[in-house]
Structure 1
Amino acid sequence: MKKIWNKFQSLAVAKKLLALSLVMSIVPICCILVLNYQLSGSVVRTQTGELIQANLEQNASNIENFYKGYEKIIQGIYTDEFYTQRLKPINRWDNSERYQAEHEIGERLQELCYNNSGVLGIAIFGTHYDTCFYDTVTQSGQSSFCFDLNKIKNNNTMELIKDERRTIYLPSVCIAQEGYGIYNCMYVVHQLTDFSEYQKGSVGFVILCFDETMLENIYSSGNTKSNVTLIADNKGNVISSAENNWKPQKLELDREKKAVFTQVEIEKAALKYVKTRKILQKTALRVKSKGILENQIYVLNIQDVNYGMRNFAYISVIIVLVGALAAVLCILLAWYTSNDVDRSMRYILDVMDRATKGGEEQMEESCITGTEFMRISRHFNRMTKRIEESERIERIAMLKEKNAEIQALEAQINPHFLYNTLDAINWMAVDKNEYAISKMLTELAAIMRYSIHGSNEIVELKDELTYLKKYIHLQQERLNYSFLSTLKADESLYHVKIHKMLMQPLVENTLVHGFPGKSEVDELYIEISQSDEQKLRIIVADNGRGMKPELVDLLNHYDYAMDKVETSIGVRNVIARLNLYYGNASSFRVESDETGTKITMEIPCGEMEEMR
C-alpha cells in the first residue's frame, strides 16, 4: 500500500485526477448498488408513513368536523328554552298541557330532521322516559325505526348521563326492519337542563340518530390496498368501517377490568381486529391513531409497511443497469477532463515560470479551458498589474519621503528661540499697556506651540477646537472683525480622538480665497456632529465668492498619490492626510457655487490610533 501511495503521489495533477475520478466513480456506484435497496426502502417507508400520517390527520379533522355538525344541532336543542319549557308539563304528567307540548316538540323535531341531511331521527325524553320524536325512516312521530324506546328505558340511559355535562357519542347499532331496510345507526346524546333552575338538575335528554354511511363517506376514499381506516370509541367498540356489509363490532379487550381503554390498548386491539378479519393480508402492519372529541373517539389507520417495496426488485435491476452505464460515462468524462486539466495546468505553470524570471507576462484565456483556471488566469493578470502599480507607488512614496526629510532639515529652527522672543515682545506690550496686543501674542505663542509639537499626533476633539478658536480669534483681530464665525459641536463628541490640524487649513482657505464674498457680511460656519454611519462629520461652510467648477471637480476627485503632498497646502493637504491617516474609512466632499462653499468630511469615531 505504501508503494502504491508513493507512486500515486509522484503522478502529475491530471493523472491524479484521472485516477481519483475512476476510483470515486466506480467505488461509490458499487456502494450505491449494495445499499440502494435498504436506503430506498427506508425512504419509501418514511414517505409512505408521512403520507399516511397526513391522511390520518386530515381524516381526523374531517370526522371531528362531521361530528361537530351534528353536535351543533344538539347544542341548538339543549340551549333552546322552548324544549325545556315544553318538557315541564310532560314531566308533571299534566294532561291538560301535555299533548299540546308533545305536538309542538314533534313539529320542531320534524323541521330539524328535514333541514339537516343524514339525520335519521331526533328524540327527546323526559325524566320518566316520556318520548317526543320524529323518525325520517318511518316519516312519523308515532312509530320509530331509529329508537328502541323500551331498550332505552330498560338501560336507564337517563341515569348514565345525568352527571355528564358534555355530549356523549354512543356506539353504532345495526337495525333491520322489514319494509325499511338495514341501517347502521349512530347516536349523539346530551342532557337537557332548564338553565333558570339549573340546581334542580336535568329535565330530560335528547338523542340524535344519523346514518353511519354518512361518516364512512368521509374517510373511505382514502382506503387503499395498503391501508385502511377504522373509527372506534374509547370503550372498544368499532363504530365505523368501510368493509362491505359491515355491522358494528367490538374489539377484543379485557372488559372485566375496566370499561374505558387507553389509546395504546385501542391501537393493539384494532391491529388484531384487522388481522383476524383479514382486511389486510400481510403481517407487516403498523397502526397509527388520533383521538378526537376529547378522546371519546379514535381514528385509526392500519398500514401495510411493505406494500411499497413489493415491486422494488424491478426498480433495483433498472438501477443496476443505469449505474453500469453511469460508470462508463464517468470513465470517459474523467479521461476527457484530465486531458483538459493537464493542458491548462502546463500553460499556467509555463507563464508563471517566465514571470518569476522577471518578464511582464499575461495569461491568454483562449489557451485555457475550465472556469476555475480562467479565474486563476484573471487573478494572476490582475495581481501582476497590481504589483507593477505598487512598485510605481512605492517609488513615488520613497521620493516623497526623501524630499520631506530634506525639508525637515531645512526647517529646523529652535522653537524655544521663537517662544522666548514672543514672550519678550509680550512683556514689552504689557509695559506699554497694549493688552490687546499682549493677548494676541499669547494666543499666537499657544498656536505655534500646538502646531509645532507633534504636528501629526492624535488629540481629543476638545483640544483641537480650543486651538481652532484661538486661530479664528487671531484672524478676526488681524482682519478687524470683518467676518463672523459660528462653531457648533456636540459636547458628547469632545472625547473623540482626531489628528491635529485637519480643520485649520480649511478655515485658512476660506479666509484667504473665499472672503470677501458678495454678501454684506462674510460668515464662517463650522459644525461637528455624528453621522448616521457613526462617523465624525465636520462641515466648514462660508458665504464667500465660491470656487470654479473645475477646481471643485479636481478636489472631489483628487489623486493625492500623483501630487507632491509635501509642497501642497490648504484643501489638498487635508485630502492627502485623510487618505494617509484613514484610507477608505474617510470621505471628503466639496460643494460650491457663487453663493459660497461647503466642505464636508467624515472620519471614523473611536480610537484613531488604530487607523494610522
Structure 2
Amino acid sequence: MKRPWGIRIRLIFMLLTLLFIPILIFAGVSQLRLNSSMEESLDSRVQAGLEKSNRSLSLTLEKYYTLLYDFCTDDDMIDLVEKFNAGAEDMESVKIRIRRELKHICNRNDGVIGLAVFTADGTCLYYDGLSSSTSESLWINSSMNLLQDEVEMYQPIKYATVAGNDPVYVFSIQRRLIDYRDIHKEVGSVLISVDERVLQDAMKGTGSEIFVLEQDGRVLSAPNNSMIGSTIRLDQISRIGNRSYSEYKAASVTNEKSGWNIVEFYPLSHYQKTMRDQFWLQVGMVFGVCIVLVSAVLIVIHPVIVSVEAVLKAMHRVEEGDFTTRVEKRGNMPAEVVEIADGFNEMVAQTDLLLGQVRQSALEQKNAEISALEAQIDPHFLYNTLDTINWKAIAREEYEISEMVGDLGDILRYAIKNAGGVTTLGEEIAWLKKYTRLQQEKLGKEIQIFCSLTSEAAKCPMHKLLLQPFVENSIRHGLHGSKKEPLLIITGELENGMLRVKIEDNGKGMPEETVTILNQPDYHREDHFGIENVRKRLRLYYGEAASVLFESRPSEYTRVTLCIPVMEEKKIENCDSGR
C-alpha cells in the first residue's frame, strides 16, 4: 500500500502550487510589458534619429544651395558669362576671371570639390578641386549639363579617382544663371559638386549606420563607400550588397527638399541582450522565491511535526497496550498539541475534532501568508506620490517644481477620469493651459496664450482631449526652433448650431503642399498619428458633421479650425452613462 503524504510535504506542495502560478504569471506579464516598453523605446529612438538625420541633410543641402544661389545671382558673374556668350574680344581674360572665381569659391568652402559653368552654347568652364586644375578632370565634362526646364535640380552620384586610387564620390546640384534684369534671357547654368562624405559627417551620431538613397533606390551615401552604387528596395532592406542587416531595425524617411530617401539601421543586439538578461532574472527570481518559501515552511512547521510525531509514538504504544504512556510536553509545542496531550485519555472521542482544528489552523496560517504576500495597488497611489513630491518641493522652496507637479497631477486626473467623456470647451482650454505650461519647460521659452471665447462657446459641451494633439503639434513643429516669442491663440464661438474652435500659432508655418496633404480626408502618416486619431474620433462621435481645416503661411502662422456639432443634452447623458 502506498504511504500517504505527510503534513510537511502537503503544505509545501500546496504553498508552491498556490504561489508559483501567480508568480509565474506576474513574471510573464512583466516580461511582456518590458518587451513592449523596449520596442516603444527603440521606435522612439529610431523616429528621433530619422528626424534629426532629415534635418541635418536638409541643412547641409541648404548650405550648398545657398552658395549656388548666391553665385547664380551675382551680377559680376552674370556679366562675365554674358560677355563670353557675346564673344567678347578679351575672351581669354573672361575665361581666366570666371575660372579664378570658381577656384576661389571651391577652396573657400569645405566639401566643394568642383564647380562648372555651362554657357548658353554648352561650353563648360570649370575648376576641379581634386586635381587643382581648370583644364583636366576625370569627372567634369559637358555631358553633365542636364538642366533643361527646371531652375534647379540634383544630379546622380559620380565617381572620381584621385592620387593613390582612393575613390571619391560626389553629388551635384545644378542651377540656372538668372539675370534679374531680364529673367527670360538664356545665360547658362552652374554645377556645384560636393563630396559625398559631407552627408555622412552631417548625419554622424544620429544612427548606427545611415544610407542616403536616390529616388531609384541607388545608394548615394553610405558608411562604407564600397556600398555606394548598390541598389536597395525600401520594402526589402535586410541586405545591402554582400552585407546582411537582418539583426538590425531599419527605418526610412524621404527628404522633401531633395527627394532622397534616408535609411537608418539600428542594431538589435543591445535590446536582445537586455531581454535575455531580464528573462533569466525573472527565472532566477521565481526559483529564489520558491526556495525561500520552502525554507520558511520547513522552519514554521518543524515544531508542529516534532510534536505530532511524539503523539503518534504515544498512540502506537497505547495500541500495544501501554496506557500509561504520556506525551512529553516541550516548550515549543503548539497549543493544539498540548491540548491533545492533555486530552490523551479521551483521544478517540476527540481525534476528529483535534485534527480538524489542526487543519483549520494550517489553512488559516496558509491564507494569512498568502494575503500578506499579495500586493494590492492603491488606485490613488500615483496621485498620493505626486502630492508627496509636491510637499517636498514646497519644503525646499522649489515652487516652480511644485507648480509643475501640481499641473501634472491635474492633467493626469483630467485625462484618466472618465477618459473619452464629455467636458466643456472652457474646461478643456483650462486643462490645455496647464498642459502648455509643462510643454514650455521643454521648449525653453514662455508660451503666451491668448483665449477668446464667447460665453455660450465656453459652456458648450464637447468630448475631452480633442484639442490636445493640435496644441502639441503647434509647440513641437511650429514654435520649436522659431526665433519669435511663442504665441498661441485659441478662439471659440457658436455658429449655426456648430462649435467652431481655432488654434493658431506664430511659429514656422508649413509649405502649401503640406497643408494640402493635411486637409485630405483620407490623409495618413505614421508620424502624425495624433491628427489621424482625432479624425477617427470625430467620425465616431459626430459622423461626417465634424471637420478639421489646416491653414498656414511659412514663417508667419499655422491655424487649425475644428468644427463640431453642438451636442444635445440626451446625447451627453448617453456618453456619460456609457462610461
For the superposition of Structure 1 and Structure 2, which TM-score range results when normalised by the shorter chain?
0.3 to 0.5
TM-score for both structures, normalised by structure 2: 0.44
Higher gyration radius (CA): 1
TM-score, scaled to structure 1: 0.42
